[in-house]
A and B are shown apart, each in its own frame.
Chain A
Amino acid sequence: MTMADEEFRAGLLAAMQRALPGVERIDGLRRLSAGATLQTWSFDAVAPDRTWPLILRRSPGGLRAARTLSLPDEAALVRALRAAGAPVAEVVYTVQPEDALGDGFVMIRIPGETIPRKILRDAEFDSVRGALVGQLARAAAKIHATDPATVPADLRVAGPRGMVDEFRGRYEAYGVPRPVLELAFRWLDDHLPAEPARPHLVHGDFRHGNVIVGPGDGLRAVLDWEIAHLGDPVEDLAWLCLPPWRFGNLDLPAGGLGTREALVQAYEAAAGTQVDPARLRFWEMMGSMRWAVGCAGMLEWFRSGRDRTVERAMIARRVSESEMDLMRLICGSA
């Protein structure tokens, strides 16, 4: 271990000793994600009479992309959601300045699977797959029903108009002409729904990969709240239906698990509101636009040296998959 590793480990132990009673050591410390600005670590905090399985989300320098929630704000949001009864992890500690660990928070580690292809294909999930669409719909309804006033975090407001404008601005800043995106922006302008009567809490990245699923019981927790915002709840339902998250099950739009109708029916029953199909369609188009512009932005990350990796280069070449999905929506075949 390097000096920095030793300091980090010692700092984490000291923080856990302040956070949890009787902690004597930390075991099994390992890094789960390799992101430069956001790290995820898994470890156990061990006391003589019990062990806490834990996850640390940490940003060493405290620097994050401008659109994302700070980690202390994310921790506050997850705590508020748990108090409201939403399926989220239990946050046990928010990293303090005196911990010298940067920004971060610690939550109870939840066992289960997040890898989409395993959830969609492996036999051990056969029995829960049928129930998952309903569970996701009810989780979404719970999230959207959470009173924003109870969330002690600085959440940005982004409804239909704001989202179109934001991504048009990002696309234009890249300076690469993309006729399919131009046509899709005209479509979005022409099909812009009314702003929601009041802004709801929206997860913003509600899809496979960000949910933990257990083999016996299905949905256990919704993760990764960093782009949560206040806006239109239908955005989350549409994002779950984006073709790239169907993993080959093209005719089962709801995460490759079920139909749009099944998702919407379960959501309407749980939320007590109606979902306008035209609004859902707008947000599916907006979702594919968001994914297209996000991937298009990776060219700059790659070329500038910010992340000059094969993986980044390949993500930059994924703009076309969203252009494919946008074209199918425009032609009315998706």
Chain B
Amino acid sequence: MLDQPNPDEVLEVVAQMLREQFAPQLPGSAAFHARVAANAIDLVRRQIAAGERLEQASLARLRALLGHDGDADALERELCERIRDRSLDASTPGLLDHLMASTLAKMSIDQPAYASYRRALKEHPGLDPN
């Protein structure tokens, strides 16, 4: 029912306009904020593209780790409580893998160029969110 171009296509050109047309013409601090805005739009594009898939993968890992069903927020809180009371720790099978996979998934949206993320992808190829 809804028409084209799709949101990703529109956002792509908005980011491009901010970065390539506006930023070079603006004075220092405004140019900086135009580039920050372009980066923000790119982040949103990545989340639209992959967010749902990454949330579902995290939920499946959480259910396996905690051994029961539940919604993502409740399971996340339970995981925090169990790490806090030490009934789960770094030696628990699957815990470090889950946390590393979740962190890599966040970084793939938030800051895929961050050097520690690029390195961690090489260190944990099996947990690559892409």
Contacts and interface: CB of A to CB of B under 8 A. Distances in A.
B99 A324 contact: no
Contact of B114 (A177, A321, A330): A321
Contacts of B111: 317-318, 320-321
Contacts of A226: none
B80 interface: yes
Contact of A317 (B43, B80, B120): B43
B40 interface: yes
Given A177-B80, A243-B115, A318-B110, A327 B89 contact: no
B83 A179 contact: yes
Contacts of A185: 84
A313 B47 CA distance: 15
A178 interface: yes
Q: Which of A178, A318, A328 has the most CB of B within 10 A?
A: A328
A311 interface: yes
Interface in B13-37: 29, 33, 36-37
B49 interface: no
A182 B83 contact: yes
A324 B80 contact: no
Contacts of A179: 76, 79-80, 83, 99, 102
Interface in A301-334: 309-311, 313-314, 317-318, 320-321, 323-325, 327-328, 330-331, 333-334
A328 B29 CA distance: 34
Interface string B78-114: 0110011010011000011001101110110011001
Majority DSSP secondary structure for residues of A touching B: helix
A313 B89 CA distance: 32
A1 interface: no
Nearest to B73: A177
Interface string A227-253: 000000000000000010010111000
A310 B35 CA distance: 10
A183 B86 contact: no
B116 interface: yes
A243 B110 contact: no
Nearest to A185: B84
Nearest to B76: A177
B18 to A, nearest CB: 10
Contacts of B36: 310-311, 314
A324 B83 contact: no
B100 A331 contact: yes
A323 B103 contact: yes
A310 B37 contact: yes
Interface in A162-203: 177-180, 182-183, 185-187
Contacts of A65: none
A149 interface: no
Contacts of A246: 115
B68 interface: no
Contacts of A309: 33
A327 B114 contact: no
Contact of B106 (A177, A183, A313, A320): A320
A327 B120 contact: yes
B33 A324 contact: no
Contact of B103 (A180, A182, A317, A333): A180
A87 B43 CA distance: 40
A330 B33 CA distance: 35
Interface of B: 29, 33, 36-37, 39-40, 43, 73, 76-77, 79-80, 83-84, 86, 89-90, 95-96, 99-100, 102-104, 106-107, 110-111, 114-117, 119-120, 123
Interface of A: 34, 177-180, 182-183, 185-187, 243, 246, 248-250, 309-311, 313-314, 317-318, 320-321, 323-325, 327-328, 330-331, 333-334
Q: What 7 pairs across the A-B complex have the smallest Cβ distances?
A: A320-B106, A182-B83, A250-B115, A177-B80, A320-B110, A177-B77, A182-B80
9 contacts: A314-B36, A314-B43, A321-B116, A324-B107, A328-B116, A328-B119, A328-B120, A331-B96, A331-B100
Given A249-B115, A250-B115, A324-B117, 10 more contacts: A177-B73, A182-B79, A250-B116, A311-B36, A314-B39, A314-B40, A320-B111, A324-B116, A331-B100, A334-B116
